[in-house]
Amino acid sequence: MPRTKDLDTVAPDDLISASPRKPNKPKRSHPQGGKPKKQTSKSADQQYRQKVYKLIGHTKHPLSSFLARPKVFDFDDRDGEEEIILVLRRHWFTNLNWILVFTLMLIFPSFLDFVPLLESFPPRYNLLFVIFWYLISFAVAFENFLSWYFNVFIVTEERVVDIDFNNLLNKEISDAKISMIQDVTYTVTGVSQTIFNYGDVFIQTAAEIPVIEISQIPNPNTVAKILQQMRLEEEQEALEGRIK
Amino acid sequence: MTNLFGAYILTTAKFLSIFGSVLYSIFAFVVVRQVTLMCKNVYDKFNSILITFSYIHFFTALLLIPLTLIFL
């Protein structure tokens, strides 16, 4: 079997067809030298980006846990032209616990009549107790809602940002460039996670923070695929020397 | 009622209520500050509503102090 003569383009053990090789057509010269090559690389980038857009789809509700390309959303240290591709919050099902607790707290004062000890207090004491109780109930619900609303994981075209407010007084922000992501794994465990399709995503990075964990987010498999596409896009950019 | 609790217990309850409402007002103020800080870090459509809610919560907590003083 004859072997290829062009060792730069074909591996040593690649076989070539025995048919006579057609002479190469002369390349059309482009008035702006080198532009066709650039267009090809851009289209490769756009292909990756289109795949990402196709994966994330559209979000209709602004209070969704899976915000695809939000128009209004912004965060503190975003670069001016940095496009936000995806914003993730915990799955809505994870809010069910505190919503149930809040509902029980709301109906609790109606059972006060059945507590004989409180009957011996003057009515104005009971009134103040009820006002105070509803304030605490509101605070419980409000704090839980804030925790859900502001704990976000953001995927931009350049990096991933994890903003965590662990409680009202503790803030933690970690980010990693997409080019630094080494591996993305996800877990879906338990009945509720399987039924409602949510789980944890672990992003292993070569950055200062070795693993970024995103807990209880919707569609973890889609998120993993999106990050995979973004990595490919970044690799493409790095190959072309266009990395920012 | 007097047999069971007595004036001393009611006075203790009054002071505890005042102390509790002052503490709660401080907590409500911390919530306002924190919501403002959170909104500076993450901007979304409902931020203004959340800030409004936090202020309503704070002013209601403040209102609780005179209410406690008047009612009890």
Tens digits of residue pLDDT in A145-190: 999 999 999 999 888 999 988 776 788 888 888 888 888 999 999 9
pTM: 0.77
| Contact state of B64 with A131 under an 8 Å Cβ cutoff | yes
Does the distance separating the beta carbons of A62 and B46 come in below 8 Å?
Answer: yes
Q: Token pair for residue A200?
A: 């944890």
A17 burial (CB, 10 Å; 0-12 / 13-18 / 19+) is: exposed
A135 contacts in B (CB within 8 Å)? 24, 57, 60-61, 64
Helix axes A35-56, A220-239, angle to 10 degrees: 170
Minimal C-alpha gap between B65 and chain A (Å) = 10
Reported residue count of chain A is 244
Q: How many helices (H) and strands (E) does chain A have?
A: 6, 9
Under 8 Å CB-to-CB from B24, ≥6 apart: which residues?
A: A132, A135, A136, B61, B64
Query: Tokens standing for A175?
Result: 């980010």
Return the higher-pLDDT residue of A2 and B68.
B68
Q: Cα–Cα distance between A92 and A103 in angstroms, integer?
A: 16
CA distance B38 to chain A (A): 7
Whether the predicted pLDDT of A81 surpasses 90: no
Tens digit of pLDDT per residue, chain B (72 long)? 555 556 777 788 888 889 999 999 999 999 999 999 899 888 888 999 999 999 999 999 999 999 888 877
Q: Does residue A172 belong to the interface with chain B, where contact is any CB pair within 8 Å?
A: no
pLDDT in the model for residue A44: 65
The domain limits of chain B are 6-71
Q: State the average pLDDT for chain B.
A: 87
Q: Does residue A127 surpass a pLDDT of 90?
A: no
Minimal CA separation from A103 to chain B, in Å: 18
Residue A16: what pLDDT? 43
For A104-109, what is the mean pLDDT? 91
- Quick one: tokens of A85? 């591709």
Check CB contact under 8 Å for B43 and A120: no
Average pLDDT, chain A: 78
**DSSP class of residue A13?**
T
Query: Is ipTM strictly over 0.85?
Result: yes
**How many angstroms from the chain centroid is the CA of residue A98?**
24
Residues of chain B contacting residue A120, judged by C-beta atoms under 8 Å apart: 1, 4-5
Q: How do strand A159-167 and strand A152-156 relate by DSSP bridges?
A: antiparallel
Tens of pLDDT, residue by residue over A17-59, are 444 444 444 444 444 444 444 445 556 667 777 777 777 777 7
